[in-house]
Copies of this chain bind each other. A is one copy, B any other.
Amino acid sequence: MFDKFHEECAVVGVHGHPEAANMVYLGLYALQHRGQESSGIVSSDGDVLISHRQMGLVADVFKEDIIKNLQGASAIGHNRYSTSGQTDIKNAQPFVVEYADGPIAVSHNGNLVNANELRQQLEESGSIFQSTSDTEVIVHLIATSKEKTLTDRVVDALHRVKGSYSLVFLTTHTMIAARDPLGFRPLIVGRFRGEGERDAWVAASETCVLDLIEAEYVREVEPGEVLVFSRGGMESLKPFPEATPARCIFESIYFARPDSNVYGHSVYQYRKELGRQLARESHIDADIVTPVPDSGVPAAIGYAEQSGIPLDLALIRNHYVGRTFIEPQQHIRNFGVKIKLNAMREVLQGKRVVVVDDSIVRGTTSQKIIRMLREAGAAEVHVRISSPPTISPCYYGIDTPTHKELIASVHSVDGIRSFIGADSLAYLSREGLYTFFKGNDAGYCDACFTANYPVLADDNGKTPQLHLFEAVSRR
């Protein structure tokens, strides 16, 4: 509803825990912000895989009897936010199939930039496809691999795909977590300490999962690492040559939960620091600093602290808002924003206001918010964005508009200011993003700000692609 980039998926896996499916369920609950269209869990009772996938939020998809039915000591789960309208249950994950060595399930966060070529090759060799998801390509590569063991087949398959992936696989006895060589999407590993017994293990997109289920944070799954969880515990493989990572910086800026620790850093502290840096880079005299809730709050606190301008909440968010409304036919101005945000005259009347937000994508929401602020009495509205202008789409698992729709791709900062109706507008510098890391920008992907894409579709330097398969069939 808001004008934001969208994270596409959450993955969770738990191995060796007596309530594995319940733990995965709680993990998906904690990661609901990463995908709201479908949710699924597959568990292993040591004999068969048991699955439940459904369109809807975690709280609606899983009921007591369903969780009870997902028996066994290992389970993986997935939340999905679908891009391009292909909201078919067939694309819901975890994806489950049977191949020569038995059943296998997989949860995937990311996007394969060579999925189209691989699918064509596989189909030419006789493979059949039942979904439009690039995840099915990975499973076919595992099934058709000439290797013998599960681990070797997985590694073999991963060598053939390009792009971004944080993956969790489940077979009847083994769980495997894998992250692409550049580590585009986050993936962490945690542990339940066994009391005199075996430890149980957790793999998840974000650390907030561990906080909820009271597991201990071990570390990031490293870029290019493959972790194999079995009765023997956790084994680490590094089948890829080392490379400079390309961790998505937008996870830290916006996607991840503020209470998560991503890439080894507190997201909340990072966002506060972006706010402080923003105040250093583009100070302005004003009466109050106010965030666009909820994502703008940490940066606004940082901005207020650094600038000395008092923080106040001029915009109140209604958290009961669902995903759709019945709009009146008669025009209500700014309705789409008003249903979620209300601007308070008592706070704004006659004030010079600094509004802090994390990003501007199309500019449409910003325009409406600024109009609301002015109508509620703001004397001046100065917009401060805690990241650089977003000029280029993402091909690594984030739902972004096309170039043309990205306002910063077609307009100057002053053009944007004029469009959204602000008195002044300033973005954080690219360098500002890395202040918190002591200025070290190595190891991050910021292609959405720079158009420098770390992985291309092929060796000829072709731009990466989205895996937009034609629908086989529609429901």
Chain B contacts for A36, CB-based, 8 A: 320
Contact with B along A48-79 (1 / 0, CB 8 A): 11111000011110111001010000000000
Q: Which residues of B contact A212 (CB under 8 A)?
A: 332, 338-339, 342
Of residues 418 through 475 on chain A, the ones whose CB sits less than 8 Å from some CB of chain B are 470-475
In the assembly, how many copies of this chain are there?
4
13 further interface pairs, Cβ-Cβ under 8 Å (given A63-B326, A123-B143): A33-B320, A48-B473, A49-B472, A49-B474, A50-B473, A96-B130, A96-B473, A97-B128, A99-B126, A126-B127, A128-B143, A212-B342, A297-B313
B-chain residues with CB within 8 Å of residue A129 when the two chains form the complex: 97-99
Which of A42, A123, A305, A342: most chain B Cβ within 10 A?
A: A342
Among residues 105 to 160 in chain A, which have CB atoms less than 8 Å away from a CB atom of chain B? 105, 123-130, 139-140, 143-145
Q: Per-position contact with B for A319-363: 1 when CB-CB < 8 Å, else 0?
A: 111111111111011000011001110110000000000000000
Contact of A320 with B29 in the complex, beta carbons under 8 Å: yes
Contacting pair A344 B266 (CB below 8 A) = yes
A97 to B344, CA, bound (A): 40
Binding site for B on A (CB under 8 A): 18-19, 22-23, 25-26, 29-30, 32-33, 36, 42, 48-52, 57-60, 62-64, 67, 69, 96-100, 103, 105, 123-130, 139-140, 143-145, 208, 211-214, 257-259, 261, 266, 268-269, 294, 297-298, 301, 305, 310-313, 316, 318-330, 332-333, 338-339, 342-344, 346-347, 470-475
Complex contacts, A52 vs chain B, CB 8 Å:
475
A26 vs B59: C-alpha distance when bound (angstroms)? 25
CB A430 to nearest CB in B, in angstroms, measures: 25
Do A25 and B316 touch (CB < 8 A)?
A: no
Contact of A311 among B60, B67, B301 (CB under 8 A): B301
**Chain B minimum-CB-distance residue to A25:** B326
Chain B positions within 8 Å of A268 at CB level = 313, 316, 344, 346-347
**How many angstroms between the C-alpha atoms of A57 and B48 in the bound complex?**
29
**In the bound complex, what is the Cα–Cα distance between A125 and B116 (angstroms)?**
22
Residue of A25, A36, A63, A474 with most chain B CB atoms under a 10 A cut-off: A474
Name the distance in Å between A63's Cβ and chain B's nearest Cβ. 7
**Are A473 and B140 within 8 A (Cβ)?**
no
Minimum C-beta distance from A162 to chain B (A)? 21
With a cutoff of 8 Å between Cβ atoms, the chain B residues found around residue A42 in the complex are: 473
Can you name 11 A-B pairs with beta carbons within 8 Å? A22-B329, A32-B320, A59-B320, A59-B321, A105-B473, A125-B126, A126-B144, A208-B342, A213-B328, A213-B332, A301-B311
Contact for A319 among B96, B214, B294, CB less than 8 A: B294
Q: Which residues in B have their C-beta under 8 angstroms from that of A344?
A: 258-259, 266, 268
**A206 CA to B28 CA in the complex, in Å?**
36
Chain B residues within an 8 Å CB radius of A472: 48-49, 96-98, 103
Does B325 contact A29, Cβ atoms closer than 8 Å? yes
Given contacts A128-B140, A298-B313, A344-B266, contact A123 B96 (CB under 8 A): no
Contact status A312-B301, CB under 8 Å: yes
A343 cross-chain contacts in B, Cβ below 8 A: 259
Bound form: Cα–Cα A143–B125 in Å: 8
* Chain B, residue nearest A329 (CB): B19
**Contacts of A339 on B, CB cut-off 8 Å?**
26, 29, 212
Query: In the complex, A64→B328 CA distance in Å?
Result: 10
Minimum C-beta distance from A371 to chain B (A): 12
Name the residue of chain B whose CB is nearest to the CB of A341: B259
User: Which 10 pairs across A and B sit closest by C-beta, in order of nearness?
Assistant: A126-B144, A59-B322, A266-B346, A32-B320, A259-B316, A98-B472, A100-B123, A97-B128, A49-B473, A259-B342
Q: Roughly how many angstroms separate A58 CA and B325 CA in the complex, as a whole number?
A: 10
